Amino acid sequence: MKKEQITLIGIGWLGGPLCEKLSALGHKVIGTTKSNENIVDGNNIFSFDVTQEQPSELLTSSPVLIYTIPPMGLNEVETFFNFIDSNTKIIFISSTAVYGKLQGIVDENSSFDPNSPNAQVLRESESYLKKRFKHISIVRPGGLFAGTRHPVYFLAGRTGISTGDEFLHLVHRDDCVEAISKIVELNLFGEDFNLVNDLRILKKDYYTELAKKLNLAPPQFTSVSKQETYLPTKISNDKSKRLLGITYKTEAL
């Protein structure tokens, strides 16, 4: 397919490797970062604060725009995207958190019940963007990990954790980069994708065992009283595997 120019808003922990991948595939990537430390190509990466600055024509003229910035207020999202032509192909990085905690088995067509302020902002942002843009794909990763950036290091030794009876929903950064690149390469705009690996075990079992393997202090989970209808959210990744051909990594390191 024709290699299109891509604007990548947010060159950081996820956006940096994504920029390198898309460039390697032959796309011209124009990226933004708030920190000069994240610049991977000085000719095409520019300092830009989406909350403070109006985007230049250089940033708004690409036929494809990928937005990887973490949740912020809906007003900031609207202010930025109002400068983007409605025919632009958009990939917006959201989160599986928009589904909520007690939804049972869910896929991309399920309803939403966000339980946190960030998840609510993402849900509102998704709704706004779908109304504004004709060609938008929403990517909903689970908990991202790569190398030593893994939730087990944050949870090690902690006590009183109440989420132990929830199902695990993680995704390796490499798989997230691969999925986003495939959306561009296969022109799969207008689709939503959950990105989570195949491990669907309880968090308390996974993190306790993994902490022991890594010689970390195991986290301590509290028991939570449950109703008979307790149905923890269990997110399907079938669509991403079927349409994007992703083979998910499950190893922690």
What domains can you pick out in the chain, each with its CATH number?
Answer: 70-145+171-198+235-244 (3.40.50.720)
Pairing type for strands 105-106 and 234-235 reads parallel
| Burial letters 150-169, b for 16+ CB under 10 A, else e | bbbeebbeeeeeebbbbbbb
Which one has a higher pLDDT value, 41 or 160? 160
Q: What is the pTM of this model?
A: 0.95
Confidence of residue 36 (pLDDT cuts 50, 70, 90): low
| CA distances, 84 to each of 75, 91, 155, 193, 223 (Å) | 15, 13, 40, 22, 48
3-class SS letters over 174-203: HHHHHHHHHHHHCCCCCCEEEECCCCCCEH
Tokens standing for residue 127: 């709704």
- pLDDT at site 228: 64
What is the per-residue pLDDT across 179-217, written as a single tens digit (0 to 9) for each? 999 999 999 999 999 999 999 999 999 999 999 999 999
pLDDT of 28 > 90? The answer is yes
Query: Please, are residues 6 and 65 in contact by the beta-carbon 8 Å criterion?
Result: yes
pLDDT of 20 > 90? The answer is yes
Query: Please, are residues 5 and 184 in contact by the beta-carbon 8 Å criterion?
Result: no
Average per-residue pLDDT in the chain? 93
pLDDT of 148 > 60? The answer is yes
Which of 41-45, 160-164, 186-190, 218-222 is least confident? 41-45
